[in-house]
Amino acid sequence: MNPSTRTVLVTGGTGALGTAVTGRLIDDGHRVAATWVVKQEAEALREALRPSERLLLLETDVTDEGSIAAGIEQVEAAFGSVDALVHLVGAWKGNEAVHEVSPDTWDRMSDLNLRSAFLCSRAVLPGMRKQGWGRIVLVSSRTAREGRSGQAAYAVAKAGVAVLAETIAEENRGLDVTANVVAPSTLDTPANRKAMPDSDFGSWVPPDDVAASIAFLASQEAGQLRGAWLPVYGSA
């Protein structure tokens, strides 16, 4: 496949990491469909990447099967089949011991981090399997494997994301359809700096570095990586 004609669906493509990933993929020659829920972020992304005929913005609820299906129909109408999925959508809530976590928090972390990854992967896999080529890149977290105290709901959901990628990889042996995980530690974003002003920002991970790792996993060259856990931990 010619990388310049590849179509990538980026969920959560308008946040700090999403903007870095979407910009990197477009710079690499791909066509990108980026989902959004905050209109202001979508407009900012469009302005930042203007002009680009290779960007499609989709208002999509990635926890809803019907909304995802409608979004993919728009992608297929505009760009053709979805060749790669980069799933960035997620959410964090912590600072609670297990006995303090409410069922609502547990369900919310599962829905936004794990259910969304499952539904989006499930939606694109049939097309990838049919064409015999596809790349799925999911975002887990360092917290899934260490530093989990006080972050049970988030850590368990992100660990599930990694297992989901491993399972997809196992189920698609024999096809050039892969699933892998990028696991960053704290991202150096304006929101994180505001939330943790006393932290050592120099040890955090720049979104552009994560975007580079994701771009590689979505590429032809990453075809031999299946179910991999790629830690992007910075200097911490």
Asked if 8 and 83 touch (Cβ cutoff 8 Å), the reply is: yes
Are 79 and 56 a contacting pair, CB within 8 Å? yes
Closest CA to 208 of 20, 49, 23: 20
Domains present along the chain, CATH in parentheses? 3-232 (3.40.50.720)
- Please list, in sequence order, all residues whose beta carbon lies within 8 angstroms of the beta carbon of residue 163, skipping any fewer than 6 positions away: none
Indicate the DSSP class of residue 206: P
Is residue 116 within 8 Å of residue 87, measured between CB atoms? yes
Instruction: Extract the tokens encoding 190.
Output: 């304006």
Residue 228: which region, alpha, beta or left (left: phi > 0; alpha: psi -120 to 50)? beta
Token pair of 11 as six digits = 């969920």
Q: How far apart are CA 56 and CA 161, in angstroms?
A: 26
pLDDT of residue 59: 95
Q: Quick check: 131 and 80 in contact, CB under 8 A?
A: no
28: confidence class by pLDDT, cuts 50, 70, 90: very high
Q: Give residue 31's pLDDT.
A: 95
Question: CB-based contacts of 160: which residues, under 8 Å, 6+ apart?
Answer: 110, 113, 114
Token pair for 64: 């809803």
Both tokens assigned to 136: 């799925």
In this predicted structure, what is the pLDDT of residue 214? 97
Share of the chain above pLDDT 70, in %: 97
Give me the helices (H) in the chain, please.
Answer: 16-27, 39-48, 65-79, 103-109, 116-131, 152-171, 190-195, 207-217
pLDDT for residue 3 = 54
| Beta-bridge partners for 137 | 86, 180
> For residues 167 and 215, is the Cβ–Cβ distance under 8 A?
no
> Both tokens of residue 144?
């899934």
CA-only gyration radius of the chain, Å: 17
Which of 47-61, 65-79, 221-235 has the highest average model confidence (pLDDT)? 65-79
pLDDT digits (tens, 9 = 90+) for 176-214: 999 999 999 888 888 888 888 888 888 889 999 999 999
Whole-structure pTM value:
0.94
d(CA 59, CA 85): 16
Residue 27, judged by CB atoms within 10 A of its CB (0-12, 13-18, 19+), counts as exposed
CA distances in angstroms from 50 to 35, 46, 88, listed in the order given: 17, 6, 22
Which helix (H) or strand (E) is 181 found in, with range?
Answer: strand 176-184
